Amino acid sequence: MKNNQPTDPVNAQHRLSLTYMEPVPDAPFKLRHLVQIHDRETFAHIEESWSKLHVLYIITAGQARLIGADGKLTLTAGSAFIRRAGSLLQHDSYRGSLSPVQGIAIAFDFTDQQHRCWPFASPTPISSHLIVDKAAELAKVCTTGHNSSSFRVHILFYELLDMLQDQVATTPEPDHFWLDGALRHIHKMYAQPLTREQMAKASNVSPEHFSREFKRYTGLTFVEYVSRLRIRMAQEHLLLGSPTLQEVARLTGYKDSFYLSRKFKQIVGAAPAHYRNTPKKIVSLTFNYTASLLALGCIPHIGAVASWMESGLDKHVQHQMKQYAEHELLAHPQLIAEVNPDIIIGYAPHPAMDELRMIAPTILMPFEELDWQQQFIQIGRMTGLESKAQAIIHQYHQLEQDANETLDNLIGENRGSAVCLFLYGEQGAYVFGHSWGRASHILYESLGFSPPTRMLKDGRLPNGYIHVPLSDIHLYAADYIFVAYPEEAAEQQAVISRMNEESWSTLAAIRNGYLYSIDADMFYGFDPVSIMKQLKNIMHHFTSHLSMH
């Protein structure tokens, strides 16, 4: 029977419009893995395991020096870098002065292997606190996924990729290569005679163009910039030692101490002779130095603070000190400039060293080259509290002496071997050498234990560390084993399952009851307060257990 009902014009219009709708594109990528980076050695493990996947590295603290197909690159706190599948990275074997690295690694892949589009341009590090914050949110959801919607992880992943693509698209190409080169030359040769005409000629621009662009780029004239840099260097020399004014003048490019003093007072507001004794507003770029300053009773105006420190800060410190994560201070130097500090301290090297030095004298210390006591003395010296720093170190040496007398009675002078294992679930464990904190320097230098034989073979002493796969942790066993277990239940289960295997359960330390659990947060700090807590905790384990054997 023929239907003679009239056609609904609205529905007909809808059916017609659907015919001309654009097809929705397929999702180009899929998230595969996410892992927290605890130390630089993690990179080698990730590169080996995820060689066929794209990897997004996001650094939240410290620095990592890598070698890729396009040469060397340094990833610093607050930066992100995408390594395409197959273009592997290697950790630079040169042992320079880099600070411990933490961050997030995210592995992803094309959803369609036939039609692949790469929207992120050439591989260059990107500095963006928004990207770092988004990655941190993604990591948090991944580790507590049972409390979140199953869609949330993928929503955050695509928001992160969208931010990366926007960042690549909006980053302008630098048009001041010549000026960047001139600034590098100034910072290298500040103690030598420098003129505008000389710099303009070397930059292949006219003196007038050089002056105009220099002022627009730096906010200072060429003469003002050089003068400020020289005085900053003079401040740093005075903070770290007791040179004569004539020596400082020679080191900073001034013809005599009289002219130096006049420029110093003009820029700093105090004569060099009185500078050391004036109260100083301090910015600490790294949490270990924030903790060291607090140990001296010196509250920085701005301090980088790690999560393990937050619960230990009293209300007075919280009120007096502006707290930031390390990557926030790196990504936002204006936060530092706004408070007009008198000193900036942190780890060397620092990618914004030249910029920071124009804000205030900047003392950057090489983490690997100085032990914690040398670093602490330097901080005491620059704050005028060196005698207090020496007193705290003396207090540590007294604890150290008492501990050794106790161990002589419990164990004897031949201590045997000991090791601290920091376990991260299926990611494996980290073992540290003498100069990298995590209590290894306490065991090997203060208390006279030997490291595991396998670690000596790996060549990771006197400094450095090694990542150990979970299947191989038994190879790094010692007479006494201290273990920091992971916090997450799933990671704990992976560790416990491995420890139930014969290769682990039959170790002498396990059979003798010399396996001790330690708190990863307590053993993270490399400052005097943390180190004394670590020593006391280690001795508590020894005295509690060895006295019963």
Going by the DSSP 8-state scheme, the letter that residue 5 receives in this structure is P
- The contacts of residue 476 (CB under 8 Å, 6+ apart) are 419, 421, 429, 431, 452, 454, 455, 468
Q: How far is CA 287 from CA 148, 379, 410, 421, 523, in A?
A: 31, 13, 36, 22, 14
List, in sequence order, every residue forming a beta bridge with 419; answer none if it has no partner. Answer: 481
Q: Is the pLDDT of residue 96 over 50?
A: no
> Cα–Cα distance between 135 and 538 in angstroms, integer?
35
pLDDT of residue 458: 66
Between vectors from CA 433 to CA 430 and to CA 437, what angle results, nearest 5°?
80
> Cα–Cα distance between 377 and 385 in angstroms, integer?
9
> Cα–Cα distance between 16 and 223 in angstroms, integer?
72
Q: What is the mean pLDDT of the chain?
A: 85
Question: In percent, how much of the chain has pLDDT > 70?
Answer: 87
pLDDT of residue 505: 86
HSE (side-chain half, CA atoms, 13 Å) at 170? 8
pLDDT of residue 167: 78
DSSP string, 146-159: GGS-TTHHHHHHHH
pLDDT of residue 16: 47
Q: Is the pLDDT of residue 273 over 70?
A: yes
Name which of 70-84, 196-210, 511-525 the model is least confident about. Answer: 70-84
Q: What is the mean pLDDT of residues 485-513?
A: 86
Q: List, for residues 425-477, the tens digit of each pLDDT value.
A: 777 888 887 767 788 889 999 999 998 888 877 665 655 677 788 888 889 99
The better pLDDT of the pair 219, 498 is held by 219
* Both structure tokens of 174: 């630098």
pLDDT of residue 36: 83
> HEC string of 79-141?
EEEEECCCCCCEECCCCCCCCCCEEEEEEEEECCCCCCCCCCCCCCCEECHHHHHHHHHHHHH
For the entire predicted model, the pTM comes to 0.71
* Both structure tokens of 173: 């190409």
Categorize the per-residue pLDDT at 545 as very low, low, confident or very high, splitting at 50, 70 and 90. confident
| Token pair 């020894």: residue | 542
Q: Give Cα 378 to chain centroid, integer Å.
A: 20
**Pair 274, 292: CB distance under 8 Å:** no
Q: Is the pLDDT of residue 145 over 80?
A: no
End-to-end CA, the chain = 99
> Cα–Cα distance between 458 and 432 in angstroms, integer?
12
**Pair 426, 488: CB distance under 8 Å:** no
pLDDT of residue 502: 86
Q: What is the mean pLDDT of residues 102-118?
A: 82
Q: Is the pLDDT of residue 46 over 70?
A: yes
Q: What is the mean pLDDT of residues 140-158?
A: 78
Q: What is the mean pLDDT of residues 196-203?
A: 93
Phi, psi (rounded to 5 degrees) for 324: -140, 160
Q: List, for residues 367-409, the tens digit of each pLDDT value.
A: 777 888 999 999 999 999 999 999 999 999 999 999 999 999 9
pLDDT of residue 193: 93
pLDDT of residue 214: 92
Q: Do the bridges between strand 322-324 and strand 302-304 make them parallel or antiparallel, or are there none, so unpaired?
A: parallel
pLDDT of residue 420: 92
Q: List, for residues 300-321, the tens digit of each pLDDT value.
A: 999 999 888 888 888 999 999 9
pLDDT of residue 248: 95
Residue 363's nearest CA partner among 302, 288, 283, 261 is: 283
Q: What is the mean pLDDT of residues 236-255?
A: 93
